[in-house]
């Protein structure tokens, strides 16, 4: 084999190894990202159950916005909740984890039967069944009303 061809074969082989390593790193990162996302799917019900006041505030603020708007932002609502209240979140290092936005948006829309109020992107939150969380919230709300 000539020197040019040998050099080309070595370069091509090195480039292929580098490309394969980059692809492996990307796949590992995607798997880690998916695992983290799945972790939020597992943690959301626990966090929500321990902090039903957060969803109650989402309902209050979103209901106010629905009076004059057809669409709104769950991010703004959660930021307003953070700003105006001193919620003592339990079970998470953050008072309201940003990764729960998708869950709260979908849960609210299912609870109020207004499927297009928040704009959605594809999420693992689409796979989640909110029925038990909504039932838990309704029970909590009844307790609050009875304790008045």
% of the chain at pLDDT higher than 70: 66
Q: What is the 8-class DSSP label of residue 87? A: -
Helix axes 131-146 and 3-50, enclosed angle (nearest 10) = 30
Mean pLDDT of the chain: 80
Provide the whole-model pTM: 0.69
> Tens digits of per-residue pLDDT, 45-100?
988 998 899 999 999 999 999 999 999 999 999 999 888 766 555 554 457 888 89
């Amino acid at each position: 084999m000539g020197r040019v061809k040998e050099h080309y074969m070595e370069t091509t082989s090195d480039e292929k190894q580098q490309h394969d390593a980059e692809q492996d790193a990307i796949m590992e990162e995607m798997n880690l990202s998916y695992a983290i996302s799945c972790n939020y799917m597992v943690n959301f019900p626990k966090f929500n159950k321990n902090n039903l006041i957060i969803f109650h505030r989402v309902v209050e603020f979103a209901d106010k916005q629905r009076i004059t708007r057809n669409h709104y932002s769950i991010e703004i609502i959660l930021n307003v909740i953070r700003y105006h209240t001193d919620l003592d979140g339990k079970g998470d290092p953050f008072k309201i984890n940003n990764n729960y936005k998708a869950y709260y948006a979908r849960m609210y829309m299912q609870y109020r039967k207004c499927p297009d109020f928040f704009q959605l992107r594809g999420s693992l939150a689409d796979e989640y069944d909110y029925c038990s969380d909504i039932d838990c919230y309704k029970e909590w709300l009844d307790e609050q009303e009875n304790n008045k």
